């Protein structure tokens, strides 16, 4: 009986790992990569549902300035950016 209980417990943990933990870790890595690739001109969506265009990226304070309307610029923390709608092409120098 004890061996069967141990096998069942390990099986449950394995299922939880592959269905919950591993996909969440993958999403966290993808989000971090997206935040690292942010640049001026990208159109983004914040957690609050605000859509705007990045005007300035401040890497040292993990912050970006987003223009949400003509002439209206707000400072947003990078981790609150949920997705990038339109990606700008890198400038060729």
Q: For position 93, what pLDDT does the model report?
A: 53
Q: For position 92, what pLDDT does the model report?
A: 58
Domain count of the fold of the chain: 2
What is the C-alpha separation between 42 and 69, in angstroms, rounded? 14
Residues 57 and 69 occupy one common structural domain: yes
Asked if residue 22 has pLDDT above 70, the reply is yes
pLDDT, mean of residues 2-28: 92
Cβ–Cβ under 8 Å, residues 14 and 7: no
Residues 32 and 64 occupy one common structural domain: no
Residues 33 and 48 occupy one common structural domain: no
Residues 30 and 47 occupy one common structural domain: no
Residues 47 and 24 occupy one common structural domain: no
Residues 31 and 53 occupy one common structural domain: no
12: left (phi over 0), alpha (psi -120 to 50) or beta: alpha
Give me the domain span that covers residue 2.
1-37
Q: For position 3, what pLDDT does the model report?
A: 87
**Average predicted confidence (pLDDT) for the chain:** 90
């Amino acid at each position: 009986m004890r061996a069967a209980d141990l096998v069942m417990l390990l099986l449950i943990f394995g299922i939880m790992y592959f269905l919950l933990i591993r996909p969440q870790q993958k999403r966290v890595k993808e989000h971090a990569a997206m935040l690292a690739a942010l640049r001026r001109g990208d159109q983004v969506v914040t957690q609050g549902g605000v859509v705007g265009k990045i005007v300035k990226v401040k890497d040292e304070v993990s912050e970006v300035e987003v223009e949400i309307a003509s002439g209206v610029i707000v400072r947003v923390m990078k981790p609150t950016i949920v997705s990038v709608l339109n990606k700008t092409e890198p400038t060729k120098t």
